[in-house]
Chains A and B, each alone.
Chain A
């Protein structure tokens, strides 16, 4: 019994210490971005690696999810004779929920795990240490560009996801199932409000991008520098990111659309 209390106390303390380390780390990463020519070049390189290279998975997934939404929406709505509403259904689902959430989940799997593994391997091979000993702060040189790249890329990826998804929904419902395209677009235009839906969806994407990249770079920087440590940290990145995205999505939805 005493042992149990002791162990839970220890893990509680460890957890608090990790949260503290992660917060200081985050703060340094945020202020660590240099806006000189050299710093912007590093940032652009990371945006390419984190954002541009994630485009394929985002576009393909977006297309298929939009197509599935078109199919499902049509088959339900057609029973009530309101298949013209499929446009607004697809758009609202994507812009409010699936765009930011699915993009964040894919982003955590594609870019987050890569960030963790890369930084972790740099730590394991003493590259971060040697950078420190050269008088170059790895938080500024390695972490800050990666953090900002993820933070900037996520909302853009989410927007692209939603756009491609709506296109996919249109392909199915208008071109294949024969919904009248005037009704498809005008219903969508009427139902989707910029302030309410698009902005709120973007806020979600920004928050998720922040959380996913933070978890990814911190797990990489804080891991135990062995092969088991790297694999454990990569797994943690994906698990923690996915759980936080889903949990935060509920909270944000409750605040934005739940009338709290």
Chain B
């Protein structure tokens, strides 16, 4: 968790190997993504999933084909088996009945659930969620919160979730890290974070408008500013 623009999505892209760090290393499952060849990198990515903020469904394919896409790309399974897997994944997110719709016909919450079904299609070990709750109505948000936790436990995954919806994120996570100003300012279980007496952590968790992170963008003296341009 952390304020907007602090580099949370960048961090996910570093983990996924889509960006290269200027310095330092990123190890995922013991693999140094910076040292892998292009082919090895793409093979390694088949074991991780990422849920994009926009859902990023392929707009020219139906919901069914979207979920079948990674299966067809990485496996040689016969069509009947792919169909069964897709139906099962869709059922897990409650959208079995929507399999013949096009992505443009889905609501925002449904889009994200279809994207989630596509992410788990290959049974990855690690799923990264980029702001899964942003811009969702309360019902869709509740569904997503539950689904993420449920899938994590049922499939035995590691989930990395980036968010600034504090209460939702804290309600489902085992371990939370808050970053600000390019460094970790607080880490631990949700209850530990809430008990922390750092003013910065406190401001972030309680959503206070002013504090160590100032309300005002750095500027000169206010009174001076109003008077000088006379």
Interface residue ranges, A against B (CB under 8 Å): 38, 125-127, 129-130, 132-137, 141
Contacts and interface: CB of A to CB of B under 8 A. Distances in A.
Give the size category of B's interface with A. Answer: 20 to 34
Given A135-B73, A135-B74, A129 B43 contact: no
A127 B57 CA distance: 6
A146 to B, nearest CB: 13
Given A135-B43, A135-B46, A136-B70, A130 B38 contact: no
Contacts of A132: 16, 18, 42, 45
Contact of B45 (A38, A126, A127, A135): A135
Contacts of A129: 18, 52, 56
Contact of B46 (A126, A130, A134, A141): A134
Interface string B21-54: 0000000000000000010001111111110111
A40 to B, nearest CB: 15
Interface string B139-182: 00000000000000000000000000000000000000000000
B48 A127 contact: no
A141 B69 CA distance: 11
B50 A133 contact: yes
A135 B56 contact: no
B225 to A, nearest CB: 30
A259 B46 CA distance: 56
Given A136-B42, A137-B38, A127 B56 contact: yes
Contact of B59 (A125, A134, A137): A125
A127 B50 CA distance: 12
A212 to B, nearest CB: 23
Interface string B65-104: 0000110111000000000000000000000000000000
B36 to A, nearest CB: 12
Contact of B50 (A125, A130, A141): A130
Nearest to A137: B42
27 contacts: A125-B54, A125-B59, A126-B54, A126-B56, A127-B57, A129-B18, A129-B52, A129-B56, A130-B52, A132-B45, A133-B16, A133-B45, A133-B49, A134-B45, A134-B49, A134-B69, A134-B70, A134-B73, A134-B74, A134-B118, A134-B122, A135-B45, A135-B70, A136-B69, A136-B73, A136-B74, A141-B73
Given A134-B74, A135-B70, A137-B38, 15 more contacts: A125-B56, A126-B56, A127-B56, A129-B18, A129-B56, A130-B115, A132-B45, A133-B16, A133-B18, A133-B50, A134-B46, A135-B47, A135-B73, A136-B69, A136-B70
